């Protein structure tokens, strides 16, 4: 009987250790919410226009740009977005749209960290006149955009997060020149 009792205790202890190990691994995979900050510079280069009325090319609707950025971010180090391929609809894999009618900005990007890991983000905001006297001469417009992080590669595979990005930017006189901008952001990233 004592051998059976010993083997029973070993089985119970082994099961408890296995359960605790599994529970600990699952707790770690959930991720930890961390403060997320950064800043940088960028440029949007015209890819195409989506016209309000295809028969009236003088009435601009939405400008589609491909973005290039360089900056720094907590948890990512140096961040870059470089021009990439276009998808099947002719949209860049990292870029934004700007509506001339409403001032609304919507974007998507694959941010590359210093080690090569990527973080996928989407964002939306609206353009307003820049009222900062230090930057309004070169960058007459501003936007506060809400960003959402949703996955990526490497350590950001299951990342989630939200942040607000403040952007000041130039505006093309004819609608076709590149849009230059500077930005800073703050939020929370969980990974």
> Cα 46–48–49 angle (5° rounding)?
110
Q: What is the pLDDT of residue 171?
A: 81
Kindly indicate whether the domain formed by 37-190 is annotated with CATH number 2.30.30: no
For 59-70, write each residue's pLDDT tens digit: 668 888 888 999
Q: What is the pLDDT of residue 106?
A: 93
Q: What is the pLDDT of residue 25?
A: 44
Q: Is the pLDDT of residue 51 over 80?
A: no
Q: What is the pLDDT of residue 26?
A: 43
Q: Is the pLDDT of residue 137 over 60?
A: yes
Q: What is the pLDDT of residue 54?
A: 64
> Which tokens go with 163?
């942040």
For 101-129, write each residue's pLDDT tens digit: 889 999 988 899 999 999 999 999 999 99
| Phi, psi angles (nearest 5°) of residue 82 | -115, 150
For 40-49, write each residue's pLDDT tens digit: 999 999 888 8
The whole-angstrom separation of Cα 149 and Cα 164 is: 11
Mean pLDDT highest for which of 2-6, 69-73, 91-95? 69-73
Q: What is the pLDDT of residue 10?
A: 47
Q: Dump the DSSP string for 63-124.
A: EEEEEEEEEEETTTEEEEE----B-TTS-BSSEEEEETTT-EEEEEEEEEPTTS-EEEEEEE
């Amino acid at each position: 009987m004592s051998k059976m009792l010993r083997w029973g205790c070993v089985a119970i202890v082994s099961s408890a250790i296995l359960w605790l190990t599994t529970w600990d691994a699952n707790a770690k995979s959930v991720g930890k919410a961390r403060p997320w900050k950064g800043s940088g510079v960028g440029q949007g280069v015209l890819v195409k226009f989506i016209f309000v009325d295809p028969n009236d090319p003088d009435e601009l609707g939405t400008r589609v740009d491909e973005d290039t950025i360089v900056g720094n971010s907590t948890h990512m180090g140096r961040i870059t977005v470089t021009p990439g391929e276009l998808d099947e609809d002719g949209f860049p894999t990292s870029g934004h749209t700007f509506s001339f009618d409403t001032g609304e900005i919507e974007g998507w990007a694959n941010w590359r960290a210093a080690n090569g890991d990527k973080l996928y983000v989407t964002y939306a905001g609206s353009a307003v006149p820049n009222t900062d006297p230090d930057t309004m001469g070169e960058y007459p417009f501003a936007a506060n955009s809400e960003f959402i992080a949703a996955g990526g590669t490497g350590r950001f595979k299951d990342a989630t997060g939200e942040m607000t990005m403040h952007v000041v930017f130039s505006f093309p006189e004819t609608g076709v020149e590149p849009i230059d901008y500077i930005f800073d952001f703050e939020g929370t990233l969980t990974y």
